[in-house]
A and B are shown apart, each in its own frame.
Chain A
Amino acid sequence: MNGTEYYRTTLIKLSDTFSRTAIECVDVFFSKKSTLHMPWEVVEQLQSKFDLILTIGSSNMQHSALMYAGIQHESLAAFTGRDDISSEEAADILGEFVNTYSGMIADKREFTDEFGILTQAVPVLYTDGQSYLPFIWGIQGYIYVEKHWIYIGYTIRKNLQEFPEKQ
């Protein structure tokens, strides 16, 4: 199996883990009960256009991953429980949300059995635009709180060149 096929099939295998972890994360982070309206899907390139986008990278010696959350302005109140939330506060809260989800995924046994433990970087915010995303297989889906959703995508690939062992 070539590298690309490995990631595609592994993401399909871990699909339930990604979506269940997202529900768990919304539950503990926002204290909201959330649902899936449809199964998450593995795609060749993640969606990348939302009002508010937070990304967080993570990596180890073998793999690099990007987790991606997107939300529309009108859905912020449903998740945060506040109508008066500023863009700065929303970015702060969603940044911590992607940080938390990324850490929770990295803690799942079925994930670490495949990829090991990935260490995450600092979240990056994009507003009112479209972020650049390369064509890399990823898994994506929506988590609903009532009729409002938050989009989550996760893509992972092999490092182009593994880091040399320390001497």
Chain B
Amino acid sequence: MSEKSVIIIDDSKYIIGLLERFFIDRLHFKIIATALDGTDALNLYRKFKPDLLTLDLSMPNKNGQDVLKELLDEFPDANVLIISAIRGDAILQCLSMGAKGYIEKPLRLSNGDFVADFIETVNEAVGVREPPK
């Protein structure tokens, strides 16, 4: 299977670091780019066309829902995974707009169930089918 690529958008360098390690170590993805601001997301997507883009919702300058709308208007087939601490209607709104999945912060990366769910959500988002166990 070819190596998948991801762009990570989050306004926290700390969270970006956690996600980079997770995508490399657990999912064997290639990190193409990261950005701290939603305003960079669209340009990075145009430039690299990754297999997946992860998107925080609560960010300065341009929030994640606005980025999601612009991105999917231009690239309807883009695979976007929302990773956010925001609860409630925002989750359903993002999914109805076309996000492929939603991961809730905090990132419980030492919790086996959380990690398994995270991996399954990413694989579904990029269309990878796990072999039957």
Contacts and interface: CB of A to CB of B under 8 A. Distances in A.
B108 A103 contact: no
Contacts of B87: 103, 106-107, 117, 119
Contacts of A140: none
Given A106-B87, A120-B58, A120-B86, A100 B106 contact: yes
A29 B108 CA distance: 8
B13 A89 contact: yes
Most central of B15, B87, B88, B105 by chain A CB within 10 Å: B87
Interface in B66-87: 84-87
Given A89-B13, A119-B86, A100 B58 contact: no
A31 interface: yes
**Interface of B (DSSP majority class):** loop
Interface in B36-68: 58-60
B12 interface: yes
A100 B85 contact: yes
A25 B106 contact: yes
Interface stretch (A90-98, A126-134, A145-153, A158-166): A90-98
B120 interface: no
B124 interface: no
A25 B89 CA distance: 23
Nearest to B11: A122
B128 interface: no
A104 interface: yes
Contacts, number: 57
Interface residues of A, number: 22
B14 A96 contact: yes
Interface string B78-116: 000000111111100000000000001110101100000
A103 B60 contact: no
A77 interface: no
Interface in A61-120: 89, 92-93, 95-96, 99-100, 102-104, 106-107, 117-120
Contact of A29 (B89, B106, B111): B106
B114 to A, nearest CB: 9
Interface of A: 25, 28-29, 31, 89, 92-93, 95-96, 99-100, 102-104, 106-107, 117-122
Interface of B: 11-15, 58-60, 84-90, 104-106, 108, 110-111
8 contacts: A29-B106, A96-B12, A102-B85, A104-B106, A106-B87, A118-B88, A119-B88, A122-B58
